[in-house]
Structures are given as C-alpha cells and as structure tokens.
A and B are shown apart, each in its own frame.
Chain A
Amino acid sequence: MLIAVTVVLIIMLLGSIGTVFAFSWAATHQQFENLESAAESIFDADEPIGTPTDPAITRDS
C-alpha cells in the first residue's frame, strides 16, 4: 500500500500548495476587502438591516 500512501501524501501536498496559492491570489485580488458588504447582501431596501423579518418578533421588539 506504499503507492496508496504516496498518492494520499501527494494529494495533501497539492492541496496545501493550492490553498497557499488560493490565499495569495485572493489577497492580491481584493477578495478580503469589502467583506461587510458581503454579509449585508442578504438585506435590501424593503428588509433593511435592523428590521427583524419574522412578524412574530416585530410585534414586540
């Protein structure tokens, strides 16, 4: 099973290199800017931040 272990280790190595590469790509391509807007994207003008959208809550909060 030495071949199998080698294959697994190669996958792990490629995975690690790929992860490092993906991180550095992301850093240089502004992927880490504007994360707030990503989190806020689920809201819109009609259901803005600060407004609970379950009618059971809005009655009392």
Chain B
Amino acid sequence: MNKFRFIFIGFMLTFMSSWVGLVLLPIWGLGNFKQVPDPKTGEMIPPVFSSLEREGHGVYIANGCMYCHSQQVHPARVRTDIARGWGERRTVARDYMNQETVQMGTMRTGPDLSNIGVRNPSETWHLLHLYNPQITSRGSNMPPFKFLFETRKKDPEKPAANALNFPKGFGPGKDFEVTPSHEMLALVAYLQSLKLSSYEIPEAPAARVESLAK
C-alpha cells in the first residue's frame, strides 16, 4: 500500500464506527432522561440535589472518593451487592440522571456507596468516620480527612455546639474541640442524599423481586 490517503480513510472510518456505537448511541439512548413521579408520594424522582448536596458532590470529586468507592448496585445473579445490603435493587441508568459528573467508579477498595444514604443515614457516624475511619471501622485502609475539619483550643465557656464527641483513644485530647468545616458538612449531606437504588422507577426491577433472588 503506497497511498497514505486510503490508509487514512480506513483508520478514520474504523474510529468513527466506534464513535457511533459507543458515544453517539449512548448519548441518544442514555442522555435524555426525565424525572418521573413517585407512584406512592407523587414527588418527582430521582430528586434533584439541593445546593449543599451539590457542593458535597464537588467535595467528593475534588478528593477522589471514586477511586475506592463505586456507586452501582449489580443484580443479585451477578454479585452479592444486594445480599450485602448495598442496595434494594440493581441501579438503573435513570437513577444517576441528576449527578453532574457521574461517579460510578471501578474499584471496591471500599464498599459501594449508591445507597449509603439509606444504609447509614447518621450524620454523626459519617463525621466520625471521615475524621478518622479507624473510629468506626477498625482496620479500614481509608485515609483520614482531618483536613476537612477545624481543630481549635476549646473555650470552656463557649464550647462549639457541633463539636465531635470522640470515643476513648481518639481525637486531639480534652483541651481541644473539632468541628466540621463547611466542605465536610456538604460532603456528608451529599452522602446522605445517595439513595440511588431506593427509587421506584418504572424500568427498575422491584426491590422485593430482587431480594427474593438472594
């Protein structure tokens, strides 16, 4: 072959075929979801994020949480996600429609978080866990996020209302208090909002059917 232009046309055509199949078709098929009304309450689901939750999504992204945590519940016949309590049913495409930059993830160094808002709704748990994962999960290899908290000397007259209560052996000591920064509160709000596999969306398999399959 001595004509470069034919080689060029050839390799651009093969490239474009993949572009049609793996970019264009997904945009058409997966890029135009609308909310649907919840059959029980009538409110539109999946719900749009509040501005604090949206900020928290930004904190999640800035600190790379996705590199250890996935956000996708797999069907019971493929994985033990549902058996582990990570979700009530497999997640479907529409569940993600309100995220700005989807964080489905490809690693499970840590557990899946699609439904963490249902599984672990407690703000206190999240604050302690994020301050130092060893407090709630001994042996975890998740890093501590102390830099998203503010540590200062405690003023005995005016202790901070939302200071963390550390169990024995953790925390900076009784002379100090630790409060979450705004970014940390946003992150926790985001985590509490993650209930991806709990929506009763028409195309989603019924949770009851999935859990029977366990």
Contacts and interface: CB of A to CB of B under 8 A. Distances in A.
Contacts, number: 19
Interface in B13-54: 13-14, 17, 20-21, 25, 28-29
A4 B1 CA distance: 35
B170 to A, nearest CB: 51
Q: Which of the listed residues A4, A18, A31 has the most CB atoms from chain B within 10 Å of its own CB?
A: A4
Contacts of B1: 26, 31
Contacts of A11: 17, 20-21
Chain B interface category by residue count: 10 to 19
Interface in A5-56: 7-8, 11, 15, 18, 22, 26, 31
A7 B29 contact: no
A31 B10 CA distance: 15
Chain A interface category by residue count: 10 to 19
A61 to B, nearest CB: 33
Contact of A22 (B10, B17, B25): B10
Contacts of B14: 15
Contacts of A31: 1
B28 to A, nearest CB: 8
B25 A4 contact: yes
A47 B10 CA distance: 32
Interface of B: 1, 10, 13-14, 17, 20-21, 25, 28-29
Interface of A: 1, 3-4, 7-8, 11, 15, 18, 22, 26, 31
